Every structure is written in structure tokens, then in C-alpha cells.
């Protein structure tokens, strides 16, 4: 019994140390997750505020000081539109015009508030906002109201979201850790404003454990530790600060983990071993050994696999088949390895295609290219007062693309000048195009070339976009012919991810083709020209959208697009199917001597099976492509996500 007691004692000490280490790692992860969650939520609110205030009618009604009711109504509309807890608006002097939560307040001078002052200086900032009357804490975003990016602000819009129990619950669901949000009162004492733990239970621990001066000194993101006893649970916590726009600590949060929950598996094992003592110490030791192997074995195999992946070996075998957390982790890890393997294969193929170089010029450029004001833009020239032109990187039917350096933001950009004939549709076409660009700017994804802004210089319109260095998919197909199945699957899955996020924002590309896709040296595929395709054939004086307008490249256009019918996201999926067909076969599914003959084939003939031109195409992959190219949209995949999942099941 003495030996057994010593064994249990040593095991308990090791288990406690292991639990403490696991809790610390989990709390660090949760603290980062909370910071990331709040930052993402704040960025989303800030972008939504910017989009809403870009609408002139909204801005004019907000700043209508003569009709407070109209300003309040518009503030209510914007609050609902951007899903804010409440909003307020001031004029250019920082005088309150309208506030949706305290509707009776107006004509108050808020200009000394850092959030308002920063917004009136032209800078969008964010930070904590305390409401002492209601005992609540909000994260507020201050946005300047102005009619042009370079003009002085006409006022400021402050939008907020509340830190409360629902926010804490959402973070707990994502991290499996309890979270407590608190505000600091006038005596720098923490007051619970949102929690997954009963406020009356955790409040005393916060009072004794949270020190405002320690939080204020935490500039490296390490946080401060504290412990609390709640009921029968011994909670270990890690605190972080929530600051005002000026950097002062206004509150914070504490991520909590239960020691008992972390030790639950060990305690259950200990009870089992105690029962086994009745059958003999030897049997108990054997049972403990088996249990330890069952727990540690899968983790050890995952650790070994992780080290191999770090060394560049993607041939690891993830053999864990359990349905518990380890099994879920192993499946997620397996999916990650498959993605890395696919990207690595794509990079190797690109290097082989371009002679051991991961990139090649995106497109050939005509020797005579006319730019703004009829003069060519040459390397070293300054465009629009801020862009230093480096080189011409491409030219097409819409305009010329330059690589440039943005002197204001100190980063490289791509500038696409739009040919005058592309904007020949009049004011209605221009407004229609601007609406498309507003939607395209909202798309932020690693598989999409980001659109920054639309500008005008000497009557010539231009777009600034993310600069991407890589090889166009069209060039890869032209230089190599048929692409391997593995490379095609990688291209297809990344293309579907790009379409998924674009369709979620209400943007239909309308011109999906290999020429509009670039593969980076890292193996990421990026889709270009979201929001630009509508320029190809704008309607005359019929509003922002109209069914019956054909836009795109005939080789890749869906039957409904060719016939001028109303389009939906499934039209892009048709084009995606054509792109995959071309990747596998080196040719488009329909070829004809004239454009009208080509259109007739798209409208009347069934697409050919890609296996007719490439016997290496798996039957299931051919079925995915043919379904994407079905004549009727109802027979295609409903969403890009559905098509992505179909491709993912193939490898």
C-alpha cells in the first residue's frame, strides 16, 4: 500500500504540472483569440461605417442640424444597417447632432473626446467607451464624415458594439474557455459587464486579483495571472486590457480555465485504479499503463507527424481514427497537410514550367501603349500625384496595368487605367460601375486580388489594386498544355474559395477565365478583376443593373449570359467548369471559326466529356466538371462551397 500511495502521489504531482502547463497554453491561446475576435469585430464595424458614410444621401441627412428628427432617423437606419449597438454623429466642431441611445441629447460639445477628435482630424480610430449611467462598456469606432477622401471631415460618426454576456458566450463556444469582461470604475475597481460565469461568484476574485496598474503596464501582450475559487471549481485566469483610443485602460477581460476539468480524465483514471486494487496491484499497474498509452499514443503520433511536416515531408500518415477531440484534431491536421501538399505540388509544377523560376511575366505588353492624356506612362513617372510608375505588366481589352509604388502608403500597388471607350456608357454606366467597385472592395480573401480604389486623372479613370507577382493560369496552360490532375484540383478548390467569398458579398464576376487568375510563387491562386467585368457592355440609361446584357469572354460564358438572361452565382460556376476543362485538356470545350458559331454551341450542344481529350481524368472529376457546365443553372451546383466540397472529396 505504501508503494501504491507513493505511486499515486508522484502521478498526482505530474498530472497537476501537466494540467497547469496545458491550462497556461490554453489561456494564452484564448487571450489571443479574444484579442483577435475584438479586433475583427472592430474592423468589420469600421468598414461597415465607412461604406455607409460613403453614401452622399446618408451623409447629408446625418449632418442635417436643422431637422434633428431626420438626423435621428438616418442614424437609426445606419445603426441597423451596420448592426451597431448605438451610433452618434457630430458636426465638424464636435457638437453632438444625434445619438440613438440617448435620443434627447444634442448640442453637447464632444470635441475633446479622443475618438471624436481623431475622427475630425481625418483618422478612423477605435477604443473602449464606458457608459456609467447604464453600467455598460462598448467598443466604439470613430469615422470621419467627408465627401471626398482628401477633403476635411464634415463631422464624425461613432458606432459601437456592446461588451456583454452574449459576446463572452460566443468566445467560449470558439475557445472552450470561460471569459469575463469587466470595466474599471472611478476607483479603478473591476465591474463585470459580460461573463460566462455568474458575476456574483467571480466579482470578488476580480476585486482582489485584477490590478489596474499591472494591466496598464502590459504592453507586450503577456497579460496578468490570477486564481479564483467558484463553487467547487478552482479557476485559473489570464487577464488582458481593453483600452480607450488614447491608450488608457478602461477595462479588460479574463480568460478562465477550470483545474478540475483539466484533471477530470486523470481523476477518473485514479478512481478506476483504486477499484482495481481489489483485484491486485499488478492488474492496476497494467491497466494504468494501457490507459496512458491510449491517451499519449495519438498525441505522440501527431507530434511526430508535425515535426515531419515542419521538415517539408508531407507524406505523413495520420492514423488516428477516434471521434474525440484528438480525432477531430487529427482530421483537421490531415486536411492541412493535404492543402500544403497540393500547394507544394503546384509550386513545383510552376517552377518546372518556368525553368526553375516560380514566376514568369503575367502578360505580354504592346510596344505602343497610350495612357493618361494620350502620353505613355514611363518608369519613374509620377501618376495622380502619389504613384511612382515602375513598369507596364499587362494590357487587355479594358486598359493597361502598371506596377507602381504608392508614396503615401509606402507599398507597391497595381494601377489599371481604363480605356475611354470602356466608360462610354454615360453617367448611368459610370454610376453602375462605381456600385460594382463598392461591392468588390468589400472582398478580402487570400484567393482574391484586392481592389483598393477608383480614381480619375485628366478625364481618365483608373483602379488601384493589390500588386500580385506570379504566373497567369493561361500562360501556364499555353506553355505546358494539359495540367496534371492534382494541380487542376488545387486550382479548382482555390477558385471556388474565391467565388465563395465574392458571392457572399453579392458580387458576380461574369468573366472567370484563366487570363484573370494568377498563381503566386507560394502556391496561392488569386482571381483578378472582381467588379470590373460589367464595364464591357454597360446599358444605356437604364439604371445600375439590367438583365439582357452579355458581358464576358464567349469561350467561358454560360448559356444564360450569352442569351442575355438574368445572372446569378451559378453563371460563375459554369465558367469555373470551363476553366477546369481547359486545365485538364489544354483546350476549351467548344471551338468554332466565328463568335456566333461558338455562341450557338454553348447554347445548343452538350459539353464534351474531358476524358475524350485526356484519358487520365478520373471519372468523378469529369462528373464534377460536367455538372458545373450544365446548360440549366438548376442542374449545376447551387453554391461555390458545394462545388469546392465536391472537388475536396477527390483529393
Distances (CA, A) of 570 to 37, 108, 160, 561, 565: 32, 52, 37, 11, 13
Within a 13 Å sphere around the CA of 453, how many CA atoms are in the beta-carbon half? 9
Within a 13 Å sphere around the CA of 562, how many CA atoms are in the beta-carbon half? 21
Determine the 3-state secondary structure of 95 from DSSP. strand
DSSP 133: T
- In angstroms, the CA 623 to CA 331 distance is 26
CB 531 within 8 A of CB 436: yes
Determine the 3-state secondary structure of 48 from DSSP. helix
- In angstroms, the CA 649 to CA 651 distance is 6
Q: Catalytic annotation on 511? A: yes
C-beta neighbour count of 282 within 10 angstroms: 9
Which of 73, 218, 324, 511 is labelled catalytic?
Answer: 511
C-beta neighbour count of 122 within 10 angstroms: 13
CB 561 within 8 A of CB 552: yes
Residue 79 in grid coordinates: 445603426
Residue 399 in grid coordinates: 486598359
- In angstroms, the CA 483 to CA 189 distance is 64
- In angstroms, the CA 379 to CA 391 distance is 5
The residues assigned a catalytic role are 511
Amino acid at each position: 500500500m505504501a508503494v501504491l500511495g507513493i505511486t499515486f502521489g508522484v502521478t498526482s504531482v505530474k498530472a497537476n504540472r501537466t494540467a497547469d502547463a496545458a491550462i497556461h497554453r490554453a489561456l494564452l491561446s484564448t487571450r489571443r483569440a479574444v484579442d483577435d475576435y475584438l479586433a475583427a469585430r472592430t474592423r468589420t464595424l469600421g468598414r461597415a461605417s465607412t461604406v455607409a458614410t460613403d453614401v452622399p444621401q446618408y451623409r447629408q441627412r446625418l449632418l442635417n442640424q436643422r431637422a434633428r428628427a431626420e438626423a435621428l432617423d438616418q442614424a437609426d437606419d445606419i445603426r441597423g444597417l451596420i448592426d451597431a449597438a448605438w451610433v452618434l454623429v457630430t458636426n465638424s466642431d464636435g457638437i453632438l447632432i444625434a445619438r440613438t441611445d440617448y435620443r434627447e441629447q444634442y448640442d453637447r460639445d464632444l470635441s475633446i473626446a479622443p475618438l471624436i477628435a481623431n475622427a475630425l482630424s481625418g483618422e478612423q480610430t477605435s477604443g473602449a467607451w464606458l457608459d456609467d449611467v447604464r453600467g455598460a462598456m462598448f467598443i466604439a469606432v470613430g469615422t470621419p464624415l467627408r465627401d471626398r477622401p482628401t477633403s476635411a471631415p464634415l463631422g464624425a460618426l461613432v458606432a459601437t458594439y456592446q461588451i456583454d454576456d452574449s459576446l463572452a458566450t460566443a468566445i467560449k463556444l470558439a475557445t472552450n474557455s470561460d471569459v469575463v469582461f469587466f470595466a474599471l470604475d472611478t476607483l479603478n475597481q473591476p465591474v463585470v459587464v459580460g461573463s460566462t460565469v455568474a458575476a456574483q461568484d467571480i466579482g470578488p476574485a476580480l476585486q482582489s486579483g485584477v490590478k489596474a496598474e499591472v494591466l496598464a503596464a502590459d504592453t507586450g501582450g503577456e497579460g496578468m495571472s490570477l486564481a479564483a475559487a467558484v463553487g467547487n471549481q478552482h479557476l485559473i485566469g489570464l487577464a488582458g486590457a481593453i483600452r480607450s483610443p488614447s491608450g488608457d485602460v478602461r477595462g479588460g477581460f479574463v480568460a478562465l480555465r477550470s483545474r478540475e476539468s483539466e484533471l477530470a480524465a486523470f481523476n477518473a483514471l485514479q478512481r478506476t485504479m483504486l477499484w482495481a486494487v481489489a483485484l491486485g496491484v499488478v492488474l492496476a499497474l497494467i491497466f494504468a499503463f494501457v490507459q496512458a498509452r491510449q491517451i499519449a499514443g495519438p498525441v505522440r503520433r501527431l507530434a511526430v507527424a508535425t515535426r515531419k511536416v515542419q521538415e517539408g515531408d508531407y507524406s505523413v500518415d495520420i492514423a488516428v481514427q477516434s471521434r474525440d477531440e484528438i480525432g477531430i484534431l487529427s482530421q483537421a491536421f490531415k486536411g492541412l497537410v493535404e492543402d500544403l501538399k497540393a500547394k507544394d505540388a503546384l509550386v513545383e509544377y510552376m517552377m518546372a514550367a518556368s525553368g526553375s523560376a516560380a514566376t514568369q511575366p503575367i502578360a505580354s505588353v504592346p510596344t505602343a501603349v497610350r495612357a493618361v492624356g494620350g502620353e505613355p506612362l514611363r518608369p519613374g513617372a509620377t501618376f495622380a500625384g502619389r504613384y511612382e510608375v515602375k513598369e507596364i505588366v499587362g494590357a487587355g481589352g479594358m486598359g493597361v496595368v502598371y506596377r507602381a509604388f504608392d508614396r503615401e502608403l509606402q507599398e507597391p500597388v497595381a494601377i489599371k487605367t481604363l480605356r475611354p471607350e470602356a466608360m462610354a456608357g454615360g453617367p448611368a454606366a459610370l454610376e453602375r460601375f462605381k456600385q460594382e467597385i463598392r461591392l468588390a472592395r468589400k472582398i478580402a480573401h487570400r484567393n482574391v486580388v484586392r481592389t483598393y480604389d477608383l480614381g480619375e486623372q485628366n478625364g481618365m479613370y483608373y483602379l488601384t489594386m493589390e500588386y500580385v507577382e506570379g504566373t497567369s493560369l493561361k500562360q501556364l496552360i499555353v506553355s505546358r498544355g494539359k495540367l496534371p490532375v492534382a494541380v487542376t484540383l488545387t486550382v479548382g478548390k482555390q477558385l471556388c474559395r474565391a467565388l465563395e467569398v465574392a458571392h457572399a458579398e453579392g458580387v458576380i464576376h461574369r468573366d472567370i477565365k484563366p487570363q484573370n487568375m494568377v498563381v503566386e510563387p507560394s502556391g496561392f491562386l488569386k482571381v483578378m478583376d472582381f467588379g470590373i467585368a460589367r464595364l464591357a457592355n454597360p446599358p444605356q440609361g437604364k439604371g445600375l443593373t439590367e438583365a439582357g446584357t452579355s458581358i464576358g469572354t464567349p469561350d467561358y460564358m454560360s448559356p444564360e449570359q450569352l442569351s442575355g438572361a438574368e445572372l446569378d452565382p451559378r453563371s460563375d460556376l459554369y465558367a469555373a467548369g470551363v476553366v477546369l476543362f481547359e486545365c485538364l485538356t489544354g483546350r476549351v470545350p467548344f471551338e468554332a471559326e466565328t463568335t456566333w458559331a461558338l455562341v450557338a454551341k454553348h447554347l445548343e450542344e452538350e459539353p464534351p466529356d474531358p476524358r475524350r481529350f485526356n484519358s487520365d481524368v478520373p471519372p468523378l472529376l469529369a462528373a464534377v466538371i460536367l455538372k458545373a457546365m450544365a446548360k440549366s443553372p438548376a442542374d449545376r451546383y447551387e453554391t461555390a462551397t458545394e462545388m469546392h466540397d465536391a472537388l475536396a472529396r477527390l483529393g
